[in-house]
Structure 1
């Protein structure tokens, strides 16, 4: 390493945030990234640890010590080359990945981990500013055609890798814009959509054909084409027109809360609420947008999606925002002796929480209460865990005022209509059944049809989606050509 004693000399420096009162007035990103000299100092904290657990802690296996050393030495051009060798879209992960690499950092055993995510963020932003991110079209075409269904991070990664291998790739997306949940699930204040747009332009220059407004499969019963897309393409069409098909859709089936009053107006899934604001930010006109202005908002679900609902509600001007979590409040500090190098169980406070939010732990919703068909309150009860089971605490029921309730309890499975239309076998959780073996990896039971990302593994992180998209691309390349030079 460039600075062998750096971890002894320098403290961890976090990225900064714009003041709360300023950032609540807009939907733009508000993270203040590291300056070049700050990134150099933070990179110097990377230890010459011998066994870099950060590499295996990172799902895409970023070569973290190498790009840290290059940043320390001021060689930013080679730093982005190293970063891109394992990660197609570091501007996505550098903004919204929870950084399992940092949890696995050797320095994290008894000190603050190296700020890997902030360094990655600095590298890719510098690379775009310097014009180092260029299209990489294949030198030779294979004559093979591949359809990728779903344009989230798994689909984008698979499509880009396959195009660079020389295949003719068409990427299908049912929505009007590319990006999947990156586009319509992640709020703009966490990741502005220009980052997706310029990758789309790069991929077009590499030969990827994008077809938006196209639903692959069959419409759900009772739906109209105009509710979903401009066009429907059947699995039979894809299998006839393409040499391979890769399904990379998301786990879009939201977990519901079937308690009395669920059908009241004002009770919505998070994924009804969040995409609308993203569409408004993109310039679309929407009638009947779900708004939190002046309302008492309760978000049910303590994860990232719930946090995104908190941040968006505060920007609407909610009167109050409360977030529920069924599990008890985690400790503020993890027990590193028990958890390192794995992802620790500890209290996590997001930037959205800092903007204004009451957090309630170990609480369950028993009933939605309404008046004239609209939700006005929730009946709740405290819960505790006894013998591995959740039990209600006697006498702990209470009624909390609520004008808007957002269900953000995660996703249970991909929408079954696509998998059913292809006739793909499912696992016990309703995901596409496909292994990740080196031989025949990511193949489903349907000939020449592959599956990767959330549609295969279930709800997960953007970094896992990129990993699966890259690995599936190699599997498809081997299937088509008998060998592959793509990295796995």
Structure 2
């Protein structure tokens, strides 16, 4: 595969655009058209329907990028930078992949990767296409948008023949071959259009661009920047903006801001701050250029901001340095805008880019700063469709002509940005959002929430049903796979929510909350209809242990007519959830409701009954035994001096005595997991305790506890003492060694080492929350083989132990796990005993139209829709790779006879930026792993991708590579080496998507 893009002829571009719109009502895969109103602004003496668009970057490199952006609301196009280095020479300098936009964004690209004449051709083709779209589809006025060229990086390069020709051609294009070609093609094919006429073609202006933005590399001297601006004003007579770097703020400001906002892991030195344009040089330069522009009758301003360079420390991208943008750049960029606006009393014109998105664009433009261009938000799921929502927001808000910047409003925005949840880094590193599976060539759509759930709960189904108020049906869907809706709806670790695609919009759908909502609203109705299932066979199963895994195993088996008896040594079922997890986390009533479900099914429950011998159970006629014993053997941490208390022992006593314990005034909890958080919060509620300290050898960011658990502990007043390793307890003080974090590894976790320094923490009681251990002694006493860690051997598929008919489930398998993992184990065990699946699948629901209506639509804080309105129903439509590709190189194909759309990758449109890899829910990169369409056999030979090249369109002959083998075939004929689904896909491309070829 090559990272070189092939520019489409204007004829193909227009045919593609028009046919796709006619057949599918989409344009280059975008679904959200924006039609501008009558209100317009004026910029550079020209009309502008809305002051937003794509920044110079991945979204303004090819004509189809610009077309997709216009269709979805953009009207100001900052074209990707051109410079004297281009084409093959530049491509050899830009490492690929070059974009990482999973959270804050990084890139290591700079200017257009095309040859400069090709770039000019793309921009002129787009110029014509936008005029057609405006009139043909009623999207706005044909003079309602503007192009702005971006040039760099030094005066000599800008004066070169190559760049000079580019500038002059963009100023006046009528004599260029590409302008004449586009114009003639439209005249020759005017019958293709219903609204767009030959007169409209004649009226397309040839003076494409009258403004330029100067892009300079870091370290460019101030006199060089000023000389470029002088040249563009006096020699080229162009309205000119200068891109400014956040380095103007100074190293100390940038470092403190990033640290305070949680980006302390971001590494950058003071080199660029010293080497770049200095603030004291910039201000007088800007004043001179303002005066010169007035003399020339042109506009001058600054573009905030250019790039902010940071070091590559975790192999994020294949370079030594990368450029940061998006959510973390916004507080720096807007602070620079505020500082300059104050310096110039609001009179300096500012164009803006640097973390602008739906959440802040209204305030930016409301303060008098426009045009605003965006990149990072368009690189995330929803892609170009996000532009529509921003355009609609601004149309509703209104945009005033530039009459100065509102300095106070801008300063307030800059201060707010440092605390805004949309820009502050989350307290914890992002969870892994990919599955372990490789993306399949066909039928790749799946809901990552459901794949991330250990029991693959039918989440999108019950979310949708709950949103329609059909709570009984929603709960019935939940109970298919999950017999503990109250417990999991309250305390589930919700790995599903970490995988949710909505995280890339604002935050996860509250999946756990909707489960609890359905349980609370429908439990009585659903439970009243549950009846005991008659025993239908000789199978008789004993479940030893009445925690979540044991309850779930009993439920699945009893539901299928198996006679089940649960033996529990405590007075009530519920295990750790009942006896250890504090009541402020989950009520006993909620636990009782889940337990009542197995009782309604006819399960026999024997409490206060401890089982010590499996032989006795066999003697009682039990044909199978499920050991759901939990991991109750206390873990420990030995101090050099002093005694500690086990966390589970403390939590049990806390619950039994309702917090009436004697711990002293100061309690220290050692640990960083969810149990440690429960322990610390319970200690805060214990009689007589004044201070609770949580000691951990790393920082909060690297604690294994869920972020919400950390937040709740902080809200309860727990004091976090980070980077401390306990040594000894003596005289009411816990002596610790101070630790320090080291280098980041590829996972983002920092190493830790001791400093030799000591620090004491007040401690009357020290509670240790470390992992509990499996009941090895029980296993061995009953003849079960164990490994060197004391865990019973088992078959991973059936969870059957070394003894036939003895199964294991829950924490007793390998140590403390989650409730839902215990339910997963119960499903496996029940299926093994039944000899058939213990759960059934739901048929996926949801129309593609409903899914597309939500794409790109972010939800603001003042909205409170039901979570179903936020659920993107990825089980019906994923298409993240389609959304996020700037070049539109991933295509959704409808294949006759296939219920799901299929994704192909178009090789000739891809530059291997890698953005689709970040957002594909599989452990894959679609640009490498999806079935690929090649323009010809040569391109195919340059690639290792599986895919095809069409050799004869009329005959349907293709050259196909699959699983390392290549074959030439007719797609309509059987071929044992190529599955029918792939042949049907290729046939659909040839017949229904011929504009791709």
Band the TM-score falls in, shorter-chain normalisation: 0.7 to 0.9
Once the two structures are superposed, residues 390-446 of structure 1 have per-residue CA deviations (whole angstroms, 9 ceiling, x without a partner) of: 43112x2022221111111222x2122221222212234322221232xxx111111
Larger Rg belongs to: 2
CA contact (8 A) 1:165 1:486 kept: no
* 2:777 pairs with 1:406: no
The alpha-carbon deviation at position 345 of structure 1 amounts to 8.8
- How many Å separate the matches in 1 of 2:713 and 2:602? 39
Once the two structures are superposed, residues 24-73 of structure 1 have per-residue CA deviations (whole angstroms, 9 ceiling, x without a partner) of: xxxxxxxxxxxxxxxxxxxxxxxxx9421010111111111111111222
2:645 corresponds in structure 1 to 268
- In structure 1, runs of 5+ residues without a counterpart are 10-48, 218-233, 333-342, 371-375
* 2:619 pairs with 1:240: yes
CA contact (8 A) 1:245 1:449 kept: yes
- How many Å separate the matches in 2 of 1:369 and 1:278? 28
State how 1:448-459 maps to structure 2 within 5 Å: 448-459=805-816
1:432 corresponds in structure 2 to 792
- How many Å separate the matches in 2 of 1:91 and 1:70? 18
Moved over 6 A (4+): 343-347
- How many Å separate the matches in 2 of 1:484 and 1:71? 26
- Cα distance 1:103–1:200, how it changes in 2: closer, same or farther (>3 A)? closer
- How many Å separate the matches in 2 of 1:134 and 1:89? 17
1:252 corresponds in structure 2 to 632
Match of 2:779 among 419, 430, 433: 419
- How many Å separate the matches in 2 of 1:176 and 1:313? 25
* 2:699 pairs with 1:328: yes
Once the two structures are superposed, residues 154-194 of structure 1 have per-residue CA deviations (whole angstroms, 9 ceiling, x without a partner) of: 00000111112222211111222211101112111111112
* 2:701 pairs with 1:306: no
1:151 corresponds in structure 2 to 546
Deviates more, 1:198-207 or 1:445-454: 198-207
1:381 corresponds in structure 2 to 737
- Cα distance 1:393–1:308, how it changes in 2: closer, same or farther (>3 A)? same
- Cα distance 1:260–1:133, how it changes in 2: closer, same or farther (>3 A)? farther
* 2:666 pairs with 1:296: yes
More relative contact order, 1 or 2 (CA 8 Å, 6+ apart): 1
Deviates more, 1:385-394 or 1:141-150: 385-394
- Cα distance 1:98–1:237, how it changes in 2: closer, same or farther (>3 A)? same
SS across alignment from 1:85: helix
1:32 corresponds in structure 2 to none
CA contact (8 A) 1:148 1:245 kept: yes
The alpha-carbon deviation at position 143 of structure 1 amounts to 2.9
2:440 corresponds in structure 1 to none
SS across alignment from 2:700: coil
1:223 corresponds in structure 2 to none
TM-score scaled to structure 1, two decimals? 0.75
- In structure 2, runs of 5+ residues without a counterpart are 1-30, 33-381, 390-443, 744-749, 842-997
1:316 corresponds in structure 2 to 686
The alpha-carbon deviation at position 319 of structure 1 amounts to 0.9
Once the two structures are superposed, residues 224-271 of structure 1 have per-residue CA deviations (whole angstroms, 9 ceiling, x without a partner) of: xxxxxxxxxx221012221011101111223211122244xxx31011
- How many Å separate the matches in 2 of 1:415 and 1:421? 10
CA contact (8 A) 1:422 1:446 kept: no
- How many Å separate the matches in 1 of 2:706 and 2:837? 39
Q: Let me know the Cα RMSD of the aligned residues.
A: 2.7
SS across alignment from 1:316: coil
- How many Å separate the matches in 2 of 1:50 and 1:484? 23
Once the two structures are superposed, residues 253-299 of structure 1 have per-residue CA deviations (whole angstroms, 9 ceiling, x without a partner) of: 23211122244xxx310111111222235xxxx9xx6434x510101
The alpha-carbon deviation at position 315 of structure 1 amounts to 1.6
State how 1:363-378 maps to structure 2 within 5 Å: 363-370=724-731, 376-378=732-734
2:715 corresponds in structure 1 to 354
TM-score scaled to structure 2, two decimals? 0.38
CA contact (8 A) 2:624 2:833 kept: yes
- Cα distance 1:485–1:365, how it changes in 2: closer, same or farther (>3 A)? closer
State how 1:388-403 maps to structure 2 within 5 Å: 390-394=752-756, 396-403=757-764
- Cα distance 1:135–1:347, how it changes in 2: closer, same or farther (>3 A)? closer
- How many Å separate the matches in 2 of 1:356 and 1:260? 29
- How many Å separate the matches in 2 of 1:307 and 1:345? 9
CA contact (8 A) 2:475 2:519 kept: yes
* Count of equivalent residues: 395
Once the two structures are superposed, residues 357-383 of structure 1 have per-residue CA deviations (whole angstroms, 9 ceiling, x without a partner) of: 11012211011114xxxxx22110112
State how 1:3-152 maps to structure 2 within 5 Å: 50-130=445-525, 132=527, 134-152=529-547
